[in-house]
A and B are shown apart, each in its own frame.
Chain A
Amino acid sequence: MQSHLTPTLTRLLPLLLAGISLGAAGADPSRFDDQSQLPGAPARTKGQPYFQPPEERDIPNNAFGDLVRRGQDLFMNTKALAPDYVGNEMNCVNCHIDRGRKANSAPLWAAYPMYPAYRKKNNKVNTFVERMQGCFQFSMNGKPPAADSEILTALTVYSHWLSTGAPVGKSLPGRGFDEPPPPRGGYDIARGKVVYDKQCAICHGADGEGQKVGVTSVFPALWGKDSYNWGAGMHRINTAAGFIQHNMPLGKGETLSDQEAWDVAAFINSHERPQDPRLVNGSIDETRKRYHENDGVNLYGVVVNGVKLGQGIK
């Protein structure tokens, strides 16, 4: 049994954004926005509905509408339609549920109006496109398409359309994953395995490998070569706990306790996955120091059950 005390500071972490100096070189992948924590979104007042994005039937039948539909198709079938940029088996919709519409699943309608975003920590401005490039590089373990590519243009147009009527620059309830507070006694990986075996393995597989139909991934991998890499936001236990509590088991969101969500998130994120593409000097320790130490609660470079995590998978 392995018990870890979670820093009581976790709630404050959104403020302590990881100190990452983004290189300026054009081809340097670290130029792209990293997946450091989003600032917490305001809570919803009781009875207040979440923002309602427009309906699919309201997409206009013109060149704009065509790009909206193309963006939605790419968002749902990223691996099939943009294979050159996806290194694992994931699709954007796997973590941004209901085509990027569902509250507390980092919905696109809440994201789009918040960019360009200024970050005090590194005195840099991050654009919406850079944020999506970050998801390509880390969540999709791939290669980000160029900022002016047809793919990122279609995804931007789709997000813009979803946020029709949303206020610009005002954080809306439902943004991000609304993480549960860290449980009092810390999280426990062994207890997380019990939750996993009982509630998650039926879909995501006994070994987190996911399930496919033919070549198409249906239940996404949670660890291993087909999953997100060590640089992805989902590798943070606190972030995964938020996603899981609101959205998993599929169709039965909001049924796990804070404790269960943290435990199972820790269990998932205590497994190997593709290496952080920002690996510093081939050293896990240096990479931890530079990118992971102050990035929420995560196990990169941490020794669990006698093995140092962060080895990566080819």
Chain B
Amino acid sequence: MRYPTPKGIAARFASILLLVPLYVHANDGETLMQKGGANPAALPCITCHGADGKGMAAAGFPRLAGLPEAYIAKQLADFRAGRRENPVMQPIAQSLSDEEIAAVAKAYAARPKVNVKPAAAGERPQPGSGAWLALRGAWERNIPECTLCHGPSGVGVGSAFPPLAGQGAEYIEAQLQAWRGTRAVPATKKTKAVAAVPPTRRNDPNGLMQHIAADLSEAEIKAVAAYFAGLGESPEAFDESQHRLR
């Protein structure tokens, strides 16, 4: 048993003082999630992203809990600027102030990250499956395995590469489709030409993601989305002193 020394007490007191402004700041973000922004058009986030911030998979509302702060702020800025188009989220992002964006990004980032159990040893992906794309890629089309950028088990890397684990299949599919757009169909004798629909998500840094989405087949999109959605969330914490294997 150790008793706090006066110095220790002072240190603790100082750390509480330091925490106060942080706490107030985080609380702003929490209020925003629950009650919405100052502008009434900034609806409470929890209505769609869930009380726990884990999203609503079936409705295609993404998880925000534990996403990197800079990534969340960047997405809101991208919705505002129209680099990412979405009829639901754009008006909401446009009615948030810069301060509100910073606060809510910080608050969601502070929520627990998705916790994925590593794949069982000896598990081998089958060619053509979603797991194959996730763990092996399609290098003949210059598509690296998704986990090379999105992290082992899709847990995300740093602040530019968001987790895919923890997101629902509908949402993942919708994003891949948004980066693809559709190709133009030339006119035939019987049908009129159909114009190309440009991608509605054009915000990936250096085009790292767009060409991947564009080169996947419809079946591959469904399969890889189902794979990441199926990783689920584990109640057991991952032992961070262990390696995550490729």
Chain A: residues with CB nearer than 8 A to chain B? 55-57, 69, 73, 76-77, 79-81, 91, 93, 97-99, 101-102, 198-199, 202-203, 211, 213-216, 218-219, 249-253
> Given contacts A202-B205, A219-B157, is CB(A57)–CB(B149) below 8 Å?
no
Contact B148 A218 (CB under 8 A): yes
Nearest residue, chain A, Cβ from B149? A250
The 20 sampled A-B contact pairs (Cβ below 8 Å) are: A56-B124, A76-B245, A77-B243, A77-B246, A79-B243, A99-B136, A101-B139, A199-B206, A202-B160, A202-B206, A211-B157, A215-B242, A216-B152, A218-B151, A218-B152, A218-B157, A251-B142, A251-B208, A251-B212, A252-B211
> Which 9 pairs across A and B sit closest by C-beta, in order of nearness?
A80-B243, A98-B139, A214-B240, A76-B246, A251-B144, A216-B244, A213-B151, A216-B243, A77-B245
- Cα A73 to Cα B151 in complex, Å, equals 17
B interface bracket (residues with beta carbon within 8 Å of A): 20 to 34
- Binding site of B, secondary structure by majority: helix, strand, loop or mixed? loop
**B87 within 8 A of partner (CB):** no
Nearest residue, chain A, Cβ from B126? A57
Q: Report A101 CB to chain B, min CB distance, Å.
A: 7
Contact A249 B243 (CB under 8 A): no
Q: Report A211 CB to chain B, min CB distance, Å.
A: 5
Contact A250 B208 (CB under 8 A): yes
Q: Report B214 CB to chain A, min CB distance, Å.
A: 12
**B241 within 8 A of partner (CB):** yes
Contact A251 B243 (CB under 8 A): no
Q: Report B59 CB to chain A, min CB distance, Å.
A: 29
Chain B: residues with CB nearer than 8 A to chain A? 124, 126-127, 136-137, 139, 142-144, 148-149, 151-152, 155-158, 160, 205-208, 211-212, 238, 240-246
> Given contacts A250-B144, A251-B143, A251-B212, is CB(A215)–CB(B241) below 8 Å?
yes
- Cα A248 to Cα B207 in complex, Å, equals 13
> Given contacts A213-B157, A249-B206, A252-B142, is CB(A93)–CB(B246) below 8 Å?
yes
Contact A253 B157 (CB under 8 A): no
Residues in chain A near residue B149, CB distance under 8 A:
203, 250-251
Contact A55 B243 (CB under 8 A): no
- Cα A162 to Cα B142 in complex, Å, equals 20
Residues in chain B near residue A215, CB distance under 8 A:
240-243
Contact B206 A73 (CB under 8 A): no
Residues in chain A near residue B244, CB distance under 8 A:
213-214, 216
Contacts A216-B243, A251-B143 known; list 11 others, CB within 8 Å.
A56-B136, A73-B245, A81-B245, A91-B246, A98-B139, A198-B206, A203-B149, A211-B158, A213-B155, A252-B208, A253-B142
- Cα A101 to Cα B151 in complex, Å, equals 21
Q: Report B241 CB to chain A, min CB distance, Å.
A: 6
Nearest residue, chain A, Cβ from B144? A251
- Cα A89 to Cα B189 in complex, Å, equals 60
- Cα A156 to Cα B148 in complex, Å, equals 25
Residues in chain A near residue B126, CB distance under 8 A:
57
